[in-house]
Amino acid sequence: MVSPDQKEMLDVLERQRQHQLQVDRVLKIVLPIVAFLLSVIAANMNIWSALFTFVMLWIAFYAVGIKRYTLWHWLTIILVYCLIDNVLSYGEFYRPGFNRHFISLFIFVGIVGVGRRYFDSWWMEKNKSAPL
């Protein structure tokens, strides 16, 4: 037998889950667009760097924004990717290119990873009275 308090708590948890699914649907559209724009701006000056930066950002955004994997693991993966991309693009380690590439990816993946919980709470507050 379910008590009224448990029923209320289960209803609140179900609403929270529905709101998070709505946020996931929005992010599945927005994050690839942001990944594309950022890869065009931040990639090293060749097509392969831009293409693989787009793929890496799309996967990282999906992992930290939608699947909510550990942010620090993905920032480490991005660091390794940026080092490899830098060496392959320039033939040697080129610090200004690495700084531009890594710092921009680091900042945006960090914003998505940290900002997701705040976006969820904002979305729930905004749609508090709206029925699902």
Q: What would the pLDDT profile of 46-64 be if each residue is shown by its tens digit?
A: 999 999 999 999 999 999 9
| Interval 60-75 mean pLDDT | 94
Cβ contact 29:66 at 8 Å: no
Is 5 part of any domain?
no
Query: Rounded mean pLDDT of the chain?
Result: 90
Asked if pLDDT for residue 82 goes beyond 90, the answer is yes
Residue with tokens 């690495």: 98
Q: Domain of residue 52: give its range.
A: 14-126
Cβ contact 65:24 at 8 Å: no
The pTM score is: 0.85
Say what the pLDDT of residue 70 is. Answer: 93
* Domain count for the chain: 1
Is 57 part of any domain?
yes
Cβ contact 54:108 at 8 Å: no
Q: Where are the alpha helices (DSSP H) in the chain?
A: 4-42, 47-61, 71-90, 95-126
Is 49 part of any domain?
yes
Say what the pLDDT of residue 129 is. Answer: 61
